[in-house]
Amino acid sequence: MTTLTRGAWGYAGASLDFKTGNWRSTDKPVHLHAKAPCHAACPAGEDQQAWFALLQEGRAQDAWEALVAANPLPGVTGRVCPHPCESACNRATLDGALAIHNVERWLGDEAVAKGWAYPLEAPAGDAPVVAIVGAGPGGLSAAYHCLRLGLKAEIFEAAPQPGGLLRSAIPPTRLPRAALDAELERLLALPGLTLTLRARLGRDVSLDELSSRYAAVLLAPGCQEGKEWDVAGAVPTDHREGLALLREFMDHGSFPEAQRVIVHGGGNTAMDLCRLMKRAGSEHVTLVTASGLPGPNTAPGDLINVVPRELEEALEEGVEIIDHATVGRLIMKGSKVTGVEVVSLRKLPGGDGRTHRVAFEGTERILPADMVIPCIGERVDPEGLEGLLERGYLRPADSWGSLSRPNVYAIGDASGQSGTVAAAIGDGRRAAEALALRLAGEVPVSDARPVLEAPQLNPRYYGGGARPHVPKLPAAARDFDSEIEGDIGRTAALAEAQRCLSCGNCLACDNCWTFCPDNAVIKTQELASDGSHYLFDLDYCKGCGLCAQECPTGYIQMVPEEG
């Protein structure tokens, strides 16, 4: 026991002997790396926050490598993806979502231009081989992820060229073939990947054969068959289905002559077809769709399923759209169409709890037409997949794509639930990850982390800044080859990265370290195991919650003290 005398002194910093951490009554701070909403919304599974963080430091190649850890085709998705990441971006609540797809595209193109190598090693000589059916985005992504996980991949593609709908259906004005080819060539040249063209499942090879010869089989055949279409039992004799017309146009560069075209349906096929036919010289191109156009009164489930930008551009180009309507009757002269009767309708809840389409009497109107083209979707070609299809699709049992048949997985459009390039890419990754784990005797688990919502950010610490200007061809200058949306360029891409809020992940801003009144935040790049540069010294933290409150990114959360 120290004797108290006049002139005595306390040793410097001796208060460290007194552990104020035991004052914490309820909560303690923890680092919690929640999912950024862009990442959670990305069907391909990219972690945009992670690659923006690298770009903020000017490390473009590292950013690209982080990006292609999930999506090997950023040059493609940067051009065609409907970018749900941007719709989810927390910055939308401040001054506009990040231009994620523009930066993604720039990174993809930059990698091609600079020849950056995909960050993976050749699989071992005796690595298991996975068979993949279809070289669309789903099959290609699956193959790439097999390589990343140390497996070999062998793709069987029915067509003479790889790419699936990217090549056969998406117009070059949205996806220039040079950009597509550049990325596909680099991908297909990776060691351990074999591509056999003109090899069709069902004709050239059977599923039983593949199952017995390969460690696993991934099915990514897409949807190639038009659904049957008629209007009250009537079908014109010269009837052509939308996707088939589009494909023909891609091959031969011409459409059948028609001045007044009615496109019936919705989706990307309808949108691309309308725009190309309008550009090819049809005077009136009218889309009749049961869905609604974007607007304050349109419920998300009722919204037309197209890339918003494409819809905007179609309207700019003079495509007419009749929404909330259907073709109720074909007006025929012999077996040729001369007009259609259009009637308004709505999707309304019925007594059985499901939604029904209700057409409204008295809203009928007649439009002259010399061609009616259905675009009501496609289904899987059943050849070679006998016994696996369920109501037209492969319909896997879980998010890994597992089918009832062991070691067989379904990916992309064929699984009947995705419908975008990014979704097919994500499916390919998840299936490859699951099968790699299962081959190693392990069980795949999904990422159950919470999503970081905008109210958890502290917006006071972020600067302002508007989205970059994106160059675009004016409607009058659009043809069949020139790309419509332009490149934002290096300067704008790097500037845009600075707008990222780093949702849910530490940006090493020092706020917690600066603001803790108890010196209980320790800065240490070396020892922080969780990716941040800081530790909480719970011996002294009093649990005031200041650090969590002032953390801009929501990376610090107060959680109940265990016990």
Partner 1 sequence: MSDPTPSGSSMPDNPRLAELRRKHGRPPQAPGAEPPQITPRDSQPRFRGLESGHRACQGCGEALAARLVMESAGPDVMVSNATGCLEVFTTTWPQSAWRVPWIHSLFENASAVASGMEAAMKAKGKNTKVLAFGGDGSTYDIGFQTLSGMLERQHNVLYVCYDNEAYMNTGVQRSSSTPHAAATTTSPAGKERMGKRHLKKDLLSIIAAHHIPYAAAASVAYPQDLQRKVRYAMGIEGPTFLVIHSPCPLGWKHDSCLTIEVARRAVECGLFPLVELERGAVTNVMPIRKPRPVRDYLELQGRFRHLFAEDPRAEEEQAHLQALADHNIATFGLTGDAEDPADTGGAALVHRGGPLASGGF
Ligand X SMILES: Cc1cc2nc3c(=O)[nH]c(=O)nc-3n(C[C@H](O)[C@H](O)[C@H](O)COP(=O)(O)OP(=O)(O)OC[C@H]3O[C@@H](n4cnc5c(N)ncnc54)[C@H](O)[C@@H]3O)c2cc1C
Contact set with ligand SF4 (CB under 6 A): 29, 36-38, 48-49, 52, 89-91, 98, 100, 500-503, 506-512, 516, 518, 520-521, 532, 534, 536, 541-547, 551-553, 555-556
Q: How far apart are the first and last CA of the chain?
A: 34
* The dihedral sign for the CA sequence 129, 133, 134, 139: negative
| 498 scored as a contact of partner 1 (CB under 8 A) | yes
Specify whether the CB–CB gap between 203 and 306 falls below 8 A. no
- The residue among 100, 120, 112, 94 whose CA lies nearest residue 50 is 100
* The dihedral sign for the CA sequence 262, 265, 270, 275: positive
Beta bridge partners of 534: 523
* Kind and range of the H or E run holding 556: strand 556-560
- The residue among 389, 423, 384 whose CA lies nearest residue 404 is 389
- 274 is written with which tokens? 């309308």
Residues in the interface with partner 1 (CB under 8 A) total 60
Q: Which does 480 bind (CB under 5 to 8 A by kind): ligand SF4, partner 1, ligand X, none?
A: none
Q: Which is nearer to partner 1, 239 or 467 (CB)?
A: 467
- The residue among 389, 392, 358, 396 whose CA lies nearest residue 377 is 392
Q: Which does 363 bind (CB under 5 to 8 A by kind): ligand X, partner 1, ligand SF4, none?
A: none
199 contact partners, CB below 8 Å, separation of at least 6:
156, 157, 158, 205
| 52 scored as a contact of ligand X (CB under 6 A) | no
In the list 52, 64, 106, 156, the residue contacting ligand X (rule: CB under 6 A) is 156
The span from the CA of 497 to the CA of 477, in Å, is 31
In the list 5, 6, 8, 353, the residue contacting partner 1 (rule: CB under 8 A) is 8
The span from the CA of 159 to the CA of 200, in Å, is 8
The span from the CA of 211 to the CA of 561, in Å, is 52
Specify whether the CB–CB gap between 103 and 497 falls below 8 A. yes
| 408 scored as a contact of ligand X (CB under 6 A) | no
In the list 84, 139, 226, 401, the residue contacting ligand X (rule: CB under 6 A) is 139
Piece in contact with ligand X (CB under 6 A), picked from 219-227, 284-292, 315-323, 499-507? 219-227
Q: Which does 157 bind (CB under 5 to 8 A by kind): ligand SF4, ligand X, partner 1, none?
A: ligand X
Q: Which does 220 bind (CB under 5 to 8 A by kind): partner 1, ligand SF4, ligand X, none?
A: ligand X
Ranges of H-type helices in 387-536: 421-439, 489-497, 511-515
Binding mask 177-206 toward ligand X (x if CB under 6 A, else -) reads -----------------------xxx----
Binding mask 420-459 toward partner 1 (x if CB under 8 A, else -) reads ----------------------------------------
296-335 residues near ligand X, rule: CB under 6 A: 307
Q: Which is nearer to ligand X, 246 or 343 (CB)?
A: 246
Q: Which does 36 bind (CB under 5 to 8 A by kind): ligand X, partner 1, ligand SF4, none?
A: ligand SF4
| 518 scored as a contact of partner 1 (CB under 8 A) | yes
Smallest separation, CB 137 to partner 1 (Å): 33
The span from the CA of 99 to the CA of 93, in Å, is 14
Q: Which is nearer to ligand SF4, 368 or 450 (CB)?
A: 450
Q: Which is nearer to ligand X, 220 or 327 (CB)?
A: 220
| 136 scored as a contact of ligand X (CB under 6 A) | yes
Q: Which is nearer to ligand SF4, 375 or 501 (CB)?
A: 501
Please state whether 198 falls in left (phi above 0), alpha (psi between -120 and 50) or beta: left
Beta bridge partners of 196: 156
In the list 76, 112, 421, 520, the residue contacting ligand X (rule: CB under 6 A) is 421
Binding region for ligand X (CB under 6 A): 80-82, 133-139, 156-159, 164-166, 169-170, 200-202, 220-222, 224, 243, 246, 268-269, 272, 307, 381, 383-384, 412-414, 419-422, 424
